[in-house]
C-alpha cells in the first residue's frame, strides 16, 4: 500500500468542522495535528528526521486570531526558509495573505492558496453597517441611550443619511463589489471605485453602474464616503494620510476600513477629524492590533470594532470547504483551485 501523504493541520478553536469529509480525508492522507509551543519548535520539527520532515501540505483552518495559535506566523519569511523539500502546498483560510511570504514559497515551488470569497457576505454586511454608522453616528446614540438620553440631541444637526451620496470603494474585488451592491440597493448611493484596473463586468452588476478613477486622489475629491476593501501591500500602506484627507469635499469625508489597519495613517486621521476634513469614521481594523488608538477609542463619534467583520458561521463553513477543496485538487490534478501565485513546479 502506498504511503499516505503527510498533511499538517494548524487548527483554530473557532472553525466549522465537516466531520464526514474529514473522515474521508483521513483515509487518503495522514493528518498530523500541529502542537508546537513556539516557532523554533516548529522549525526544529521540520528538520531531517523531525516529526514534520516529510509533510507534503500544510492546512491552516478556521479563524487565525483566536485560540492557542493566535499569535503564530507559520508562513513568515524566516519560517518559510526552513520548509522541508517535501512541502508542495499550503492551504490557508482567509482572504488576506499579507502575513505570508507567498513570493518566497512560489520561488521554492510551493503553492500558497487563500480562500477568496469565503467571508465576502460577512465582511460586506459589516461594512454596509459601518457606512450607515459614519453618517448617523449610531454608536454615540447607543451610548446616550445607555447613559444619558439628553446627549443624543446633540446629533440633531450632525447626523445625515447616506441616501444619494457618493460612495468610493478602494478595491472592487469580491468584497468591494458586494459592499457596492448593498449600498446602492439599501441607501441609493452612487458608486465610485479605484483600483489597478477598470472592471467593466463588475460595473454591469450594479443597476446604475460605477465610475472608475485611475487615482485615489481623483476619487476622494468627489465622494462623501470611502471604504477600504483592498489587500494590504507596500503600495497601500498609509494610503489614506494627510495629503488625501486635504482633498475631501467641504462637507467632509466619511472613512470606513474593513481591510487592514495599516492602510490608514491614524495620526493623520485624527488631525483630519479635528479640521472637519473627516466627519465620520468606522473601523473594523486598526494599525496596531489588538491595540486600539486611545484617541479613537475615547471618541464615541467614531465606530470601532475589534476586527470581527469575518465573524459568521457562513465564513467558517466556507473556510473549511475551500481549504480542503484546494488540498484535494492539488493531489488529484497537480494544481489547486485558488493559488495566490502561479508556479512552474506542480509536484
Cell numbers linked to 266: 491614524
Could you list the pLDDT tens digit for every one of the 347 residues in the chain? 468 999 999 999 999 999 999 999 999 999 999 999 999 999 999 999 999 999 999 999 999 999 999 999 999 999 999 999 999 999 999 988 999 999 999 999 999 999 999 999 999 999 999 999 999 999 999 999 999 999 999 999 999 999 999 999 999 999 999 999 999 999 999 999 999 999 999 999 999 999 999 999 999 999 999 999 999 999 999 999 999 999 999 999 999 999 999 999 999 999 999 999 999 999 999 999 999 999 999 999 999 999 999 999 999 999 999 999 999 999 999 999 999 999 864 44
Tell me, yes or no, whether 114 lies in a domain. Answer: yes
201 catalytically annotated: no
Question: Does residue 114 sit in the same domain as residue 223?
Answer: no
Tell me, yes or no, whether 339 lies in a domain. Answer: no
Tell me, yes or no, whether 344 lies in a domain. Answer: no
Residues 9, 119, 163, CA angle at the centre, nearest 5°? 165
Contact 332, 342 (CB under 8 A): no
Contact 237, 266 (CB under 8 A): no
Tell me, yes or no, whether 56 lies in a domain. Answer: yes
Question: Does residue 250 sit in the same domain as residue 329?
Answer: no
Question: Does residue 77 sit in the same domain as residue 133?
Answer: no
Report the pLDDT value the prediction gives residue 203, as an integer from 0 to 100: 98
CA distance 336 to 328: 8
Question: Does residue 108 sit in the same domain as residue 186?
Answer: no
Report the pLDDT value the prediction gives residue 197, as an integer from 0 to 100: 96
Report the pLDDT value the prediction gives residue 284, as an integer from 0 to 100: 98
Question: Does residue 133 sit in the same domain as residue 72?
Answer: no
Question: Does residue 93 sit in the same domain as residue 128?
Answer: no
Burial of 205 per CB tally in 10 Å (0-12, 13-18, 19+) = middle
Tell me, yes or no, whether 1 lies in a domain. Answer: no
Structural domains of the chain, count: 2
CA distance 123 to 179: 9
Q: Which domain holds residue 146?
A: 120-304
Report the pLDDT value the prediction gives residue 96, as an integer from 0 to 100: 87
Among 192, 260, 266, 286, the one annotated catalytic: 260
Question: Does residue 93 sit in the same domain as residue 146?
Answer: no
Among 78, 289, 297, 345, the one annotated catalytic: 289
Whose cell is 440631541? That residue is 153
Tell me, yes or no, whether 341 lies in a domain. Answer: no
Question: Does residue 125 sit in the same domain as residue 99?
Answer: no
CA distance 47 to 227: 45
Out of 283, 304, 325, a domain closes at 304
260 catalytically annotated: yes
Tell me, yes or no, whether 178 lies in a domain. Answer: yes
CA distance 59 to 1: 24
Question: Does residue 151 sit in the same domain as residue 270?
Answer: yes
Question: Does residue 14 sit in the same domain as residue 151?
Answer: no
CA distance 281 to 139: 11
289 catalytically annotated: yes
Question: Does residue 157 sit in the same domain as residue 283?
Answer: yes
Question: What's 112's domain CATH number?
Answer: 3.40.50.720
Report the pLDDT value the prediction gives residue 3, as an integer from 0 to 100: 84
Tell me, yes or no, whether 347 lies in a domain. Answer: no
Question: Does residue 200 sit in the same domain as residue 272?
Answer: yes
Amino acid at each position: 500500500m502506498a504511503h499516505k501523504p503527510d498533511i499538517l493541520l494548524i487548527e483554530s478553536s473557532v472553525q466549522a468542522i465537516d466531520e464526514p469529509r474529514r473522515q474521508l480525508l483521513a483515509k487518503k492522507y495522514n493528518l498530523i495535528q500541529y502542537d508546537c509551543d513556539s516557532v523554533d519548535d516548529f522549525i526544529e520539527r521540520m528538520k531531517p528526521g523531525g516529526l514534520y520532515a516529510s509533510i507534503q501540505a500544510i492546512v491552516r483552518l478556521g479563524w487565525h486570531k483566536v485560540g492557542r495559535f493566535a499569535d503564530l506566523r507559520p508562513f513568515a519569511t524566516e519560517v518559510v526558509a526552513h520548509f522541508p523539500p517535501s512541502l508542495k502546498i499550503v492551504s490557508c483560510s482567509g482572504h488576506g495573505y499579507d502575513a505570508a511570504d507567498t513570493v518566497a514559497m512560489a520561488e521554492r515551488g510551493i503553492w500558497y492558496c487563500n480562500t477568496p470569497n469565503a467571508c465576502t457576505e460577512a465582511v460586506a454586511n459589516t461594512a454596509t453597517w459601518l457606512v450607515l454608522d459614519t453618517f448617523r453616528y449610531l454608536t454615540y446614540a447607543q451610548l446616550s441611550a445607555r447613559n444619558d438620553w439628553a446627549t443624543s440631541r446633540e446629533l440633531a444637526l450632525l447626523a445625515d443619511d447616506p441616501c444619494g451620496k457618493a460612495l468610493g470603494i478602494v478595491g472592487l474585488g469580491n468584497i468591494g463589489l458586494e459592499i457596492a451592491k448593498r449600498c446602492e440597493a439599501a441607501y441609493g448611493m452612487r458608486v465610485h471605485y479605484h483600483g489597478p484596473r477598470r472592471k467593466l463586468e463588475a460595473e454591469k452588476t450594479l443597476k446604475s453602474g460605477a465610475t472608475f478613477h485611475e487615482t485615489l486622489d481623483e476619487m476622494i475629491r468627489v465622494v462623501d464616503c470611502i471604504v477600504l476593501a483592498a489587500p494590504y501591500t507596500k503600495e497601500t500602506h498609509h494610503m489614506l494620510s494627510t495629503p488625501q484627507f486635504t482633498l475631501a469635499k467641504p462637507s467632509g469625508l466619511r472613512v470606513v476600513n474593513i481591510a487592514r489597519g495599516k492602510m490608514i495613517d491614524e495620526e493623520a486621521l485624527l488631525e483630519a477629524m479635528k479640521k472637519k476634513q473627516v466627519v465620520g469614521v468606522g473601523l473594523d481594523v486598526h494599525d496596531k492590533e489588538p491595540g486600539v488608538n486611545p484617541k479613537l477609542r475615547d471618541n464615541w463619534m467614531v465606530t470601532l470594532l475589534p476586527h470581527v467583520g469575518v465573524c459568521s458561521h457562513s465564513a467558517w463553513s466556507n473556510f473549511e470547504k475551500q481549504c480542503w477543496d484546494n488540498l484535494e485538487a492539488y493531489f488529484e490534478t497537480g494544481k489547486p483551485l485558488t493559488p495566490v501565485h502561479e508556479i512552474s513546479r506542480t509536484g
